[in-house]
Amino acid sequence: MKRLWMLLLVLLAVAGTACAETMFIDGGAADEVHLRSSPVDSASSLGVYYTGTPVERLTATSGGWSRVRIGSQTGYVRTEHLAGEAQLAFRDCVVNNTTSDWVNLRQEDSFEATVLARLDNGTALQLMGETAVGWGYVLWNGQRGYVVTDFLTAAAPAPRQTPEASTAPAATVPAASPAPVAAGSSIVGTTADGGYIHAYDAGNGQTIYFVAMEADPFITLEDVNFDGRADIVVTTIRGATNCYYEFFVWTEAGYIRADHPGVEGIANYILHPQYGYVASSAKAGNAGALYEDCLMRWEGSSLRLVRRSTSEERREYRSEGTSFVIVMHSRQASLTVYAYTAEGDSTLLHEEIVDLNGMDAEMLEEMKQHLWEGLR
Amino acid sequence: MRRCVAALACLLAMLMASAAAETTVLGQTADFFYIHQYTAPNGQDIWFTAMEDDVYIELRDVNFDGIEDIVVDTVMGANNFFSELFVYDTTGGAYVRVITDSSEERLCNVSLHPEWGIVSTHWNGGYAGLLHVTNLYRWDGLTLKLIRSAVSDEWTEERYEGQTFTTIIHGDILHMTVRDHTLGSYDECIVWEVIMPKDDIDLEQLFEQETEALWQGIR
């Protein structure tokens, strides 16, 4: 009798597996989809996955959601974001562990998980997604596994974003990454914090010097100040989710480095030539729920900060007698949008505190509307 | 007070010994540092970044091998001067940037102690020197290895409560520690520690105890 039960259990397990259907993430224009903890848009994000990531569709649930397994994670995605055929939009990355020569590729997103392989620095792999706690779901040599995202850098300029069709007219920037300029830069020195000082021959007899965290930064030509002439764009930090850039704009006096006071770094920039704005958009964790978006406008060869929208973990500061208390609420986000004048004075345009679990695409879109209010 | 006077004398000595050097500024970084090129006495180009466009460079034997090395003051604040060292590597016949095995990327208010083979740094965090960090390094080839450190800070508590992380900085309580980094990990190598209300402190006596613990067995 016991043997019969075992056989039945095995049959049920096999049947369960057979029911699981392999499908692929289809993120549409955004090329990415959040895996949610429950079948509602407001549920907490377990991670973000790029178009083409294979998923096991376990069950269909009501309301147009599917319960799926992606690697070691199980959660929910909207069924409309699943496709029968793979359209790949993975991020090309390389291993770059600054504290060691290698990283572990693990079976699951945990330091206790089985090590599948040891990947040396410089190993090329494809990033299929990122969990909310900082693990990259990667494809290496046909093998899927997890690597800590801090140990990955983009192998090519981050996929350039174009403004969403619903919120802004198409920019002149092509969606595809611009081809790097043929000649690269040469390293002339290093900095105290481990960066490289690069010299780049601009082609007009001018040598441009800049500091990048990578030995092989990407250098592209692109009209970033909307004057119809090509400027020079260099990558200074190539992270797995954030790429930082410096602009050298063409002027009568040659190429000049564009200052951007008040904006620490130009991250994952988006050009909006129709409105004359350059947007910087840095992800700060929690699968995109924490971020800093800035809008800048050209003033000569400088980028002036016009608006800033941030989502950060809520912090309270207070004095208690002779003590100073800082309380950080890790599951709450403080969302703010500020406008800045040419003199640097700021005005708060929007502020709210939300539960990080409730951060969804609709809310992010609302914040974008606040950021752009009255500017287009 | 004695410590402040000593630090001031040290800074003055450094300023007198060094001179504004001829460097070429060739660019700037996103965080407003200037990219400098300096031609060393052997004709070698030395590159570095500095907060100032006008930097002080000193030729001085910092690794006690009898050969002059290069000290560049890259950040010059009111209380703290941050330097980069380039030592002459006789093997390669060139100046090489010095790195440390600590988190101190730019060395703060560097002092040389050739008699004990020690390079020390001292960061002044304010309150007339009450808050500070002193590090003692020993040379290991071209690397500075941290062997001792003294940290004087306001007593800070950190705790997780559910989904909140609270940091309480007690402005009225001083926390001083001396670590011997040759003994083990950061939490295991405390050799001297004091936690006491600032009002109860005999500063001079406390500083003497800290200095004694820091240099114990070295000099």
> For residue A66, what pLDDT is reported?
87
**A20-83 domain in CATH 2.30.30.40?**
yes
A18/B contact by beta carbon, under 8 A: no
pLDDT attached to residue A13: 39
Cβ of B165 within 8 Å of Cβ of A330? The answer is yes
Determine the Cα–Cα distance for residues B53 and B23; give it in Å rounded to an integer. Answer: 9
The percent of residues above 70 in pLDDT, for chain A, comes to 86
| CA–CA gap between residue A188 and residue A245 (Å, rounded) | 19
CATH architecture of structural domain A91-154: Roll (2.30)
Average pLDDT over residues B29-33: 90
Predicted TM-score (pTM) of this structure: 0.70
ipTM for the predicted complex: 0.83
Contact: A323, B169; criterion CB under 8 Å: yes
More confident residue, A130 or A160: A130
Digit-coded pLDDT (tens) for B47-82: 999 999 999 999 999 999 999 999 999 998 888 999
**What is the band of A32 on the pLDDT scale with cuts at 50, 70, 90?**
confident
Confidence of residue B18 (pLDDT cuts 50, 70, 90): low
What residue spans define the domains of chain A?
A: 20-83, 91-154, 186-372
Q: Are B23 and B36 in contact (CB under 8 A)?
A: yes
Say how many Å lie between the first and final Cα of chain A, rounded.
74
Query: What are the residue boundaries of the structural domains of chain B, listed by start?
Result: 2-215
Out of A188, A211, A322, closest to residue B170 by CB = A322
Band of pLDDT at residue B20, cut at 50, 70 and 90: low
Question: Which has the minimum average pLDDT: A178-192, A294-308, B110-124, B138-152?
Answer: A178-192
Per the CB < 8 A criterion, the answer to whether B24 and B34 are in contact is: no
Do the domains at A20-83 and A91-154 have one common CATH topology?
A: yes
- Average the pLDDT over A45-65 and give the result: 85
**Where is pLDDT greater, at B15 or B70?**
B70
Check CB contact under 8 Å for B47 and A189. Answer: yes
Q: Shortest CB distance from A326 goes to which of B28, B47, B167?
A: B167
HEC string of chain A equals: CHHHHHHHHHHHHHHHHHHCEEEEECCHHHCEEEEECCCCCCCCEEEEEECCCEEEEEEEECCCEEEEEECCEEEEEEHHHEECCCCCCCEEEEECCCCCCEEEEECCCCCCCCEEEEEECCCEEEEEEEECCCEEEEEECCEEEEEEHHHEEECCCCCCCCCCCCCCCCCCCCCCCCCCCCCCCEEEEECCCCCEEEEEECCCCCEEEEEECCCCCCEEEECCCCCCCCEEEEEEEECCCCEEEEEEEEECCEEEECECCCCCCEECCEEECCCCEEEEEEEEEHHHCEEEEEEEEEECCEEEEEEEEEEEEEEEEEEECCEEEEEEEEEEEEEEEEEECCCCCEEEEEEEEEEHHHCCHHHHHHHHHHHHCCCC
Q: What is the mean pLDDT of residues A117-143?
A: 86
Alpha helices, DSSP H, located in chain B? 2-17, 203-215
Backbone angles phi, psi at A12, to 5 degrees: -65, -40
Q: Does A148 touch chain B (CB under 8 A)?
A: no
pLDDT band at A177 (very low <50, low <70, confident <90, very high): very low
CB contacts of A354 in chain B (<8 Å) are none
- What tokens were used for B185? 């990990």
CB contact under 8 A, A330 and B164: yes
Closest CA to A24 of A77, A64, A92: A77
Q: How far is B94 from chain A (nearest CA, A)?
A: 13
